[in-house]
Amino acid sequence: MNSFFNDTDLQCHGAVMKEEARWIREKVMAHNKWFEESIPMIASENLMSPLAKEMLISDFADRYAEGLPGKRYYQGNVYVDEVESKAVDMAKELFDSSFADVRPISGTVANMAVLFAFAKPGDTITTCALAQGAHISTAEFGAFGQRGVNSVNYPFNTDNMNLDVDGTIKLLKEVRPKVAQFGLSVFLFPPPLKELNDTFNEIGCVVWYDAAHVLGLIAGKQFQDPLREGVNILSSSTHKTFPGPNHGLLLGSNLTEEQEKALQRAVFPGVTSSHHLHAMAALAVTLAEMKVFAKDYASQTCKNARALGQALYELGVDVLCPDLGFTRSHAIAVDVSKFGGGKDVSKDLEDANIICNKNMLPKDTSAVRPSGIRLGVQELTRVGMKESEMKEVASLIYRVAKKESPAKVKEDVKELKKGFTKIQWCFSAGEPAYGYHKLVP
Ligand code: DSN
């Protein structure tokens, strides 16, 4: 396994690892090996490039910065300021956005900043429901409910896994929300923003788009372009289809100066103090890489998702939305009721080294025993898989669903994965994709 330290280093330097530290290190190494031998398909994960990952073990990881570049509370931020200003510039350029803030430390923290800036307790926000694929932060028991906003769900068309346009226009006119929020965690198709634009203008709401799942596809111009379709504020995490660090991002368009300041104040001191400078630097590296690689990587990701949907469908698996090509994004949703439901199938798949999650589908009422699984192909694309490998992956999934022994399928998973352990679509293409990487002086 790749490791920043190896046992010889540790012995040569006379370091005696305490038992507990050794145990933890061994567990992490075991995890690295497991994922190297697995087919990871969680739609919200990805692999950082080695150059981006290197930032996580830089001295930025040990420092503090509060406020904005040039206006920090602490000294010692000379280079941090330069990196952060560059990251902001690159984010604006990549997404053609007039505002960017790279300080939120996660997608949910970015969402909380939007809530702090644009909604007070008692205000109404329109959003999707969890069973329609919404993110947990929009739920009554999530950040929306905890901010005390009144959330109202859009009418949803389960046949095309998208908003019912006429019903949504009617709802928006009736409810007149302060903020209309869009974006999903089972994000198969772009919401019909253009069709809703006149209504947004008529009621004068803030239009907010949570792009977490599709940020890399937007960067590669392979999904919709929300900031050109009426969205004022885009929040996101930076580690799903966008293959950066666990971090967050805010982008904006047509915001007033007061709205931009409100967002910046909401980020600090509202929902962060320092903002994980090592992750911010890793985001900066990923932005630089995505300026070069986003289009080809995102295009292959979308092709792979559709190929996986098609291959499973041809095997008789109930992939949602066959008439629409299954998806326009990196993910597909699969109804596995006839194979025992999402809970059992996802566990069996894990035992075969195929990692995915159970997921509610619109017909479900239980989040713990849902009928679906969600499959994302962005990480498999990142290690170089293409349409032909999607057929092989579909066959492996099908064998597990049909109750072939997971242990037996696991051996074939490992064999397939042997050819796909190197990172692609980045400046350090060809380097090992899993584990640690040495800092290059
Ligand atoms: N929970 C993540 C997902 O899997 O979609 C998003 O934060």
Average pLDDT over residues 46-72: 96
Helix (H, G, I), strand (E, B) or coil at 94: helix
Average pLDDT over residues 174-182: 98
- What number does the ligand 1 atom closest to the CA of 107 have? 7
Residue 11: predicted pLDDT: 55
- What number does the ligand 1 atom closest to the CA of 374 have? 4
In angstroms, the Cα distances linking 298 to 137, 162, 182, 241 are 26, 21, 21, 8
Q: In 108-185, at which residue ranges do the beta strands (DSSP E only) sit? A: 124-127, 150-153, 156-157, 162-163, 179-182
The Cα 316–Cα 310 span in angstroms is: 10
Q: Average per-residue pLDDT in the chain? A: 94
CB-based contact 318:342 (threshold 8 Å): no
CB-based contact 222:302 (threshold 8 Å): yes
Helix (H) or strand (E) holding 387: helix 387-401
Query: At 156, phi and psi to the nearest 5?
Result: -125, 140
Q: Tell me the per-residue pLDDT of 305-357, one tens digit each, with 9 for 90 and over.
A: 999 999 999 999 999 999 999 999 999 999 999 999 999 999 999 999 999 99
What is the model's pTM? Answer: 0.95
What is residue 425's DSSP assignment?
Answer: S
As given in the structure block, the two tokens for residue 401 are 């669903």
Beta-strand pair 354-355/331-335: unpaired
The Cα 333–Cα 59 span in angstroms is: 41
Q: Tell me the per-residue pLDDT of 386-420, one tens digit each, with 9 for 90 and over.
A: 999 999 999 999 999 999 999 999 999 999 999 99
Q: Tell me the per-residue pLDDT of 281-306, one tens digit each, with 9 for 90 and over.
A: 999 999 999 999 999 999 999 999 99
Query: At 431, phi and psi to the nearest 5?
Result: -75, 160
Residue 440: predicted pLDDT: 47
Helix (H) or strand (E) holding 170: helix 165-175
The Cα 357–Cα 366 span in angstroms is: 14
The alpha-carbon radius of gyration of the chain (Å, integer) is 22
Instruction: Compute, in angstroms, the gap from residue 184 CA to the centroid of ligand 1.
Output: 9
Task: Report DSSP letters for 257-274, one per residue.
Answer: HHHHHHHHHIIIIII-SS
Instruction: Compute, in angstroms, the gap from residue 185 CA to the centroid of ligand 1.
Output: 6
- The alpha carbon dihedral of 136, 140, 144, 145 has a sign of negative
Ligand 1 first shell, C-beta below 6 A: 44, 107, 135, 185
- What number does the ligand 1 atom closest to the CA of 185 have? 5
Q: Does residue 441 register a pLDDT over 50?
A: no
User: Among 108, 132, 135, 184, which is best to mutate for testing ligand 1, by the most ligand atoms less than 8 A from CB?
Assistant: 135
